Chain A
Amino acid sequence: SQQGEEDPQALSIQEGENATMNCSYKTSINNLQWYRQNSGRGLVHLILIRSNEREKHSGRLRVTLDTSKKSSSLLITASRAADTASYFCATDALSSGNTGKLIFGQGTTLQVKP
């Protein structure tokens, strides 16, 4: 029941440029979260946006949510080589109640060239 679809699958940019990743999902949600994964490591939580929010900022991260289109985007501004990683969106579906079960997208692999 994978419900998140992300695009692009891979993104390669120069240091200092902005990176935008998109996520689409299928059912109604409580919230949508973005995680980062360095190669061969666990995931690290970046930012959470609730279903009644439209935009959220955290440092160089900006997340938008459009519940009418069931989509979200993650913008990383002024990228650095250290931002090279895979980024996943994850949805907390309304139907899951308060179980904390998240449904993850396929991820976007970001490469930032120095």
Chain B
Amino acid sequence: QVQLQESGPGLVKPSGTLSLTCAVSGGSISSSNWWSWVRQPPGKGLEWIGEIYHSGSTNYNPSLKSRVTISVDKSKNQFSLKLSSVTAADTAVYYCARAAATSLGYYYYYYMDVWGKGTTVTVSS
């Protein structure tokens, strides 16, 4: 059973770079899945940040694209998130998730079936 675990600093200074890692256990990061980052500011809804395939192909939220880098380390079976030039608005719980994307006839499927527990990141001086 695949499990995901986020790790990284819980406090980041304004204008700094937020760096998180998601360790994948119980399965291979080279499986046919996208590996995603999602965040949730306090009291607000879920926001998709971006995703990476084991080949290195990435998709990013256009509103964050200029500040986000997602990378994969197949040797360590993990993937990472870097978000630069952070402000207080980037304070949130950050989740990593496994996503599946496929098609059946005319329709497409996209869903996140495995989630990490989340890690809280606060941006403050």
Is B one of A's binding partners?
Answer: no
Chain A residues close to B by CB (< 8 Å): none
